[in-house]
Amino acid sequence: MTIANLIDVLTPALDEGYGVAGLVVLGWEDACAFVAAAEDLRCPVILQAGPGCRTHTPISVLGPMFRALAEQSQVPVVCHIDHATTISECQAGIDYGFTSVMIDGSRLHLAENIALTASMKEIAHPHGVSVEAEIGFVGYDEGALSLPTKPEEAAELVKQACPDALAISVGNVHLQTSADTVIDKVALAAIEEVVNCPLVLHGASGIKAADRGWLASNSKVCKFNVGTELRQAFGTSLRNVLDSDAHLFDRNQILSAVKPALIEQTKKVLKSIDARKA
């Protein structure tokens, strides 16, 4: 069995200077493609069920689906609940087999965020489930604005709540369709001086591949969340498949034809954060 949690995959990544991808899953075909790409490159991968995924498909379905892929994989696979804002959401994930949860208290006051994260860790760790927290707020392209992470708040949260990974806001933005994000390396370095756990960048689709590689090799950032970039690849491939055959209508045939392009784009993402695979 190769099912894993964040501690299993991020500890060696932090020690050895490479990144692990948290890939946003929207359906079965995505998850299969992501695991196939990771197996081709012999590297770990994190399958993430975010709010959109959970709205479309129940956690009771996603948990067994993720675990089935993880347990049959040849590489470590983390089954992760992303951006849950309540303990009940995370508890449901644990109940249905997820091995990792993100308790997102980034919109709360610091004391509330610390209390929520600490409570979640007390619940999760006895089940072997890892916990990711967020401090500061990672905004959205053409949406809510980011609030940069304050190093002193990051230090306090890590000291009191001890999450297994910490998502930070240093210029990264969710849902960017072009890679023009500029990471504030000075701000990142200030956070690294006071925090010793693995760091997470949400919105990594907006970060150039070369910059992702530098961050993976030269900072404590070792989890890179990627969604938009892969959805773009899926959409482009789907259009090409349908344009190539006006008579194609079978869903399984269509999605099977889309999958190779998604696997190749996923491999590019994985290589960009792991110099061992480049």
Domains of the chain: 3-272 (3.20.20.70)
Active-site residue flag, 40: no
* pLDDT at residue 91, as a whole number: 98
Residues with pLDDT less than 50, the chain: none
pLDDT for the residue 180: 84
The whole-number pLDDT of residue 277 equals 87
Q: Burial code of 96-118, b = ≥16 C-beta within 10 A, e = fewer?
A: bbbbbbbbbbbeeebeebbebbb
Distance of alpha carbon 7 from alpha carbon 239, whole angstroms: 39
Q: Pairing relation of β-strands 221-226 and 199-201?
A: parallel
Contact 9, 46 (CB under 8 A): yes
Alpha-helical runs (H) found in the chain: 6-16, 28-41, 51-56, 59-72, 87-95, 110-124, 151-161, 185-194, 209-218, 228-244, 251-272
> What is the distance between the alpha carbons of residues 193 and 82, in angstroms, rounded to a whole number?
26
- Gap between the Cα atoms of 142 and 68, Å rounded: 36
> What are 132's strand-pairing partners?
102, 165
Compute CA distances 176 → 3, 45, 180, 211, 226, whole Å: 30, 22, 8, 15, 10
CA distance 222 to 167: 10
Q: What is the reported pLDDT for 54?
A: 96
Residue 29 one-letter amino acid? E
pLDDT value for 141: 77
Active-site residue among 8, 30, 40, 82? 82
Instruction: Tell me the percentage of the chain whose pLDDT exceeds 90.
Output: 90
The whole-number pLDDT of residue 1 equals: 54
Judge whether 97 and 64 are in contact, CB under 8 Å: yes
Q: Are 191 and 199 in contact (CB under 8 A)?
A: yes
Measured CA to CA, the distance from residue 176 to residue 140 in angstroms comes to 8
| Closest residue by Cα to residue 129 from 66, 180, 172 | 66
